[in-house]
Amino acid sequence: MANVTLTIDGQKVTVPAGTTVLDAARSAGIFIPTLCHDPAIPGFGACRLCIVEIPGMRNLPASCVTTVAEGMVVHTASEAVIEARRTIIDLLLANHPQDCLTCEKNGDCRLQDYAFMYGVRQTSFHGERKNYPLDDSNPYIIRDQNKCILCGKCVRTCQAVPGRSVIDFGYRGFNTRVVTAMDVPLGESDCVYCARCVAVCPVGALTYKPMAGKGRTWEIQRKPVTCTFCESGCTFELNIKDGKVIGITAKEPGPGRPLCLKGRLGLELLYVEEPMTPMLKKDGRFVPVSWAEALGLEGVVARMKEVEGK
């Protein structure tokens, strides 16, 4: 495809036609903040934090969904852009708990990063805030909708796996939130706890329950590991603190990598020193099960015992 040359913050950048302004800027080492942008599922354009100024264009376009054009001039940090970004962060903070001290995501939170970067110390709006009960209905994922910034990454990553689509947006306006079908708690939904959603959540709205309280993000080293339970070969990460594996989390899911609970549990059994008893849903309730049952190996184990007995 032909190349296009544009100017970003005074710097000439040449990229293939069809590239987004965001990718063009990133390729030139120019930083643009994003919350909803997911390189695996691009084109959503919801958080509006990545807006830039392009003379000749109406308004401030979102760089993640604006394609480059020959001769285009882009300002990523003009006065209008900074004001808009600060205001958007301000608006998000106005509807977000300020409990970073105890948040699992502290230190690895995009909202926190951008508030720091743009110097938004606290929100300037003091009005209604979301007040939803914590969804603690299952053994694997903690869902705190009060922290949700509605970037929709979880929704899109869930929909990217055929047959899942467990969550989607529900309600309208200020009451918009991510819901399961009929808005039941996650534990009662068809969720299979692959935790793709947890892996992509930029804030602390979705956290991995087995890791809760086990360490701060900066104390944890991460090491990728490939799951070999099936041919998909999904990548997970060993979370290591003080030399001990304290949990397994999913690495950012990509196309063709469905991730699954079985794979993650299998890796936990392999790597985690004291793995949590696996839980499976039976008759709508989570019950502890044997590792053989959790990993679907009951038949094999039984057969092995049979052979052993002979």
CA distance 146 to 155: 16
CA distance 108 to 85: 20
> What tokens appear for 291 in the block?
């590792």
Rounded to a whole number of angstroms, the distance between the first and last alpha carbons of the chain is 67
CA distance 88 to 230: 43
Applying CB under 8 A, which of residues 1, 29, 128, 231 lies at the interface with another protein?
128
Applying CB under 8 A, which of residues 37, 48, 105, 143 lies at the interface with another protein?
48
Applying CB under 8 A, which of residues 14, 124, 221, 290 lies at the interface with another protein?
124
Asked whether position 45 contacts another protein by CB under 8 A, the answer is yes
* Residue with Cβ nearer another protein (95 or 112): 95
Asked whether position 243 contacts another protein by CB under 8 A, the answer is no
CA distance 245 to 56: 54
Asked whether position 17 contacts another protein by CB under 8 A, the answer is no
Asked whether position 273 contacts another protein by CB under 8 A, the answer is no
- Within 13 A of 273's CA, how many CA atoms are on the CB side? 8
Asked whether position 308 contacts another protein by CB under 8 A, the answer is no
* Residue with Cβ nearer another protein (77 or 230): 77
Residue among 52, 259, 295, 35 nearest 164 (CA):
259
* Residue with Cβ nearer another protein (13 or 62): 62
Which residues in this chain contact another protein in the complex, by CB under 8 A? 43-49, 51, 59-60, 62, 65, 67, 80, 83-84, 87-88, 91-92, 94-95, 124-125, 127-128, 149-150, 152, 168-169, 171-176
